[in-house]
Structure 1
Amino acid sequence: MSSADSKPRSGAAGPDRRFLRDDGHLSDALGRLVAGTVPPLLPALAGSLVTGVLILTGLEHLAGVTLFAPVAALLLSGVATRHPHDGQLDWIVIPLLRAMEYLYLLALGHGAGVPGPLVFVLLTAVVLHHCDAARRERYGARPSGWIMGAMLGWDGRMLLIAAGGAVGWLPFAYGLLAGYLAVLLVWEATTSWLATPVTTVANAPQNEHGGMAASEG
């Protein structure tokens, strides 16, 4: 089971940033080792810096096991997955992880000649997953633990694509992951999201103009 179902909510003041991290099993396991004692911002910044440099210097120059280097660098942030993320700047961790995953999928696909539509479909599926999870958390109707675990987390998805590239099956890996995530998203929408009581959505925070209030973090 993913950490999404085992971590307590951060309270009524805002969404649980630990859930919004979308960590997979490996990242969550690293976080268990230090039991939330490591603040999240510094590891995320360090991991993102190294990952970003490796990506921007050209993933087309990476091959085999070296494709795992950007993912391994970003896993530095995994040691803080159990931290409450209650610092003033800890909200930065979430967009950092999002940006690194999107950049890795985009740059690797482009550099390796994966068909553009296939890269677009995979990125769209990942973005929709993140948007759905954030909205569900905002409404207090969090997806089940098994569905979040099945989505593999940012680390699991990046590792799967790296593995596909290492064995020379990158287009297949992109197509497989895109189809897999699409099926899970449709399943979640039809079995869980649509079953959420209307009152749960109706009671979502409103702004002064009658629209939905912006979520925090």
Structure 2
Amino acid sequence: MIRVLLVDDQALIRTGFRMILGAQPDISVVGEAADGAEAAARAAELTPDVVLMDIQMPGVNGVAATERIAERSPATRVLVLTTFDLDEYVVAALRAGASGFLTKDIAPEDLVDAVRVVHRGEAVVTPRLLTRLIGTLIGPAPSVAKSAAAGLLDRLTEREREVLLLIARGRANAEIAAELGLSGSTVKNHVTSVFAKIGARDRAQAVIVAYESGLVALPG
């Protein structure tokens, strides 16, 4: 059973999500919160598998709440919710530890699928859309941040750098395997090693490191 915490300052939206998710045989809504501070407290109390996190709330917003949850409950995955698909806070939420983002007009079946995908430990945003999002929103990294990100790359083997580069270019594991002439299990092991060495929870954060380090150039 996938245990979900709903976070939104609008009760009507929480009710709608509860109805959709609660109807699924493998998903249980274990709690709700109306702001970021309450979300962090409820996540610590309930230890949900997935948190659906509204990004814009009064008081403690979704970005700050996501950061608190990532620090206190690293096993909990966070999906941020936004009204716009290119919300200015989305990248900040990904940096804070979110595993992806959803728009509030998402179709019910896609919401259910997203919760299941994140519970499996994957980013909910498809690799190519994630790459476009990061390339659109993320600015040139400050020299200090760029230096720190470049230092993370020094931990990688040459093959792991190749894998990270292809992740940042939007390749799925099967495509990486075909391009590098490796088995799927070998690629999966490389991806796991890359994430561990650069401190990334998933593809979302790995792509950010790839851009900040200069491994992948920003478009334009």
Larger relative contact order (C-alpha < 8 A, sep ≥ 6)?
1
Same fold, TM-score > 0.5, yes or no = no
Higher helix share: 1
TM-score when scaled to structure 2? Answer: 0.28
Higher strand share: 2
